[in-house]
Amino acid sequence: MDYKRILTVQDISCVGQCSLTVALPILSASGAETCILPSAVLSTHTAGFKGFTCRDLTEDIPAIAAHWKKEGIDFDAVYTGYLASEQQILLVKELFSLGAKGCKRIVDPAMADGGKLYPAFDEKFAATMATLVGEADYALPNVTEACFLTHTPYRETLTKDYVKELVDKLHALGVHTVVLTGIGYREDTTGVVVDGDAGFYHYEHRRIPRNSHGTGDVYASAFTGALMRGFSAEEAAKIAADFTVLCIENTPASHWYGVEFEPLLKDYIQMLQPS
């Protein structure tokens, strides 16, 4: 197995099982060297906690990137998660230049859910994020994010024609492979659609009727790890979905601020073994 080097750019929520505290262990479990570039440091994530602290690290990003260039450090994949501002999005675009030959650019446009943008963001931010998605080899939006990226009215009830419209509009931005999450056509199912070189693929699985913070980060990290292990986008999407469902199923309702993914990393490693 090739030893890959992945750079992931997102915030550190010191407590909360999301962003880098999820991405680093999952990507490491996939067998890749995982390098990080924190966009901000928060005492906790922002969902449910009160009085959290936050230090923005935007001003540090150019100097870090310049040092890497001077040292000749490059990456086999650059994977972005939550970015706090339009300026950070523009800086991440420059980081794509640190990719080695064949570097995979993977963008999780973490900015919205449930038909609404996160409170810190507006439509101008979404428009800037759309330009980053347009430079990605793989983009992993949920339905809400896809709607804001493509100026499409949000629907809670999905149809195949509506999903196909979203996918086509995402491709029109420039992204090569679309990985659209939260796709189910019945109340008891959800799933993921992948549209890339192999054509249109839909993996459907059981929907667990509970909201769990950080599952998008679990999914995107598990997908990236599997992709860099040599799995196709379709295979990686299935592995990531199965692992995310497993994490939700094995997390008690009392654990409200994230999912207990750590005891299940062994299962993720097993999923990555050749069949």
Q: Is residue 181 part of a domain?
A: yes
Q: Is residue 267 part of a domain?
A: no
The three-state secondary structure class of 59 is helix
Q: Is residue 263 part of a domain?
A: no
Q: What is the domain range of residue 210?
A: 5-257
Q: Is residue 152 part of a domain?
A: yes
Q: Is residue 262 part of a domain?
A: no
Q: Is residue 32 part of a domain?
A: yes
Question: What domain count does the chain have?
Answer: 1
Q: What is the pLDDT of residue 188?
A: 87
pTM for this entry: 0.96
Q: How far is CA 4 from CA 69, 136, 218, in A?
A: 18, 19, 19
**Separation between Cα atoms, residue 221 and residue 80, nearest integer Å:** 10
Question: What pLDDT, in 10s, does the model give residues 107-145?
Answer: 999 999 999 999 889 999 999 999 999 999 999 999 999
Q: What is the CATH number of the domain that holds 117?
A: 3.40.1190.20
Q: Is residue 270 part of a domain?
A: no
| CA distance from start to end of the chain | 15
Question: What pLDDT, in 10s, does the model give residues 196-215?
Answer: 999 999 999 888 877 788 99
Is residue 1 scored above 80 in pLDDT? no
Question: What pLDDT, in 10s, does the model give residues 23-69?
Answer: 999 999 999 999 999 999 999 998 888 998 999 999 999 999 999 99
Token pair for residue 121?
């963001």
What torsion, rounded to 10 degrees, do the Cα atoms 8, 142, 178, 150 define?
-110
Q: Is residue 272 part of a domain?
A: no
